[in-house]
Amino acid sequence: MHRAARVSDSMRALAERRLRQRGWRTMIVPYAGYGAPGWARVICRVLLRPPDPRPPRPRTKHRKVRGWRSFTSVPAQGVPVTIVAGQRRVEALTDRGGFVDLRVDAELTPGWDQVMLESEGTAAVPAPVRVVDPDVRFGIVSDVDDTVMVTALPRPLLAAWNTFVLDEHARASVPGMAVLYERLATGHPGAPVFYLSTGAWNVAPTLSRFLSRHLFPAGPLLLTDWGPTTDSWFRSGREHKRDTLRRLTTEFPSIRWLLIGDDGQHDEQLYAEFAAEFGDHVAAVAIRRLSPTQSLLARGLPAPHGAPHGQDLTWLSAPDGAGLSTLLREAGLLPD
58 and 164, same structural domain?
Answer: no
Residue among 21, 17, 76, 10 nearest 46 (CA):
76
Domain final residue, candidates 77, 106, 131: 131
For residue 321, being part of any structural domain is answered with yes
Q: Are residues 191 and 85 in the same domain?
A: no
DSSP letters spanning 63-125: ---BGGGGG---B-TT-EEEEEETTEEEEEE--TTSEEEEEEEE---SEEEEEEEE-TTPPPE
Domain of residue 62: give its range: 3-131
Residue 174 pLDDT greater than 90, yes or no: yes
Contact 161, 216 (CB under 8 A): no
pLDDT digits (tens, 9 = 90+) for 263-320: 877 899 999 999 999 999 999 999 999 865 555 444 444 444 555 655 668 999 999 9
Beta carbons within 10 angstroms of residue 253's beta carbon: 10
Q: What is the CATH number of the domain that holds 73?
A: 2.60.40.10
Helix (H, G, I), strand (E, B) or coil at 302: coil
Q: Are residues 163 and 61 in the same domain?
A: no
Q: Are residues 150 and 296 in the same domain?
A: yes
Domain boundary among 131, 150, 177: 131
Give the best-scoring range by mean pLDDT among 160-169, 231-240, 301-310.
Answer: 231-240
Tell me, yes or no, whether 114 lies in a domain: yes
pTM of the model: 0.84
**CATH classification at residue 269:** 3.40.50.1000
Task: Based on the fold, state whether residues 118 and 197 are members of the same structural domain.
Answer: no
Q: Are 106 and 88 in contact, with CB atoms under 8 Å apart?
A: yes
> Is 100 found in the same domain as 15?
yes
**Same-domain check for residues 57 and 147:** no
Bridge-based pairing of strands 256-262 and 138-142 is parallel
- Are 94 and 71 in contact, with CB atoms under 8 Å apart? no
Are 9 and 155 contained in the same domain? no
Count of the separate structural domains present in the chain: 2
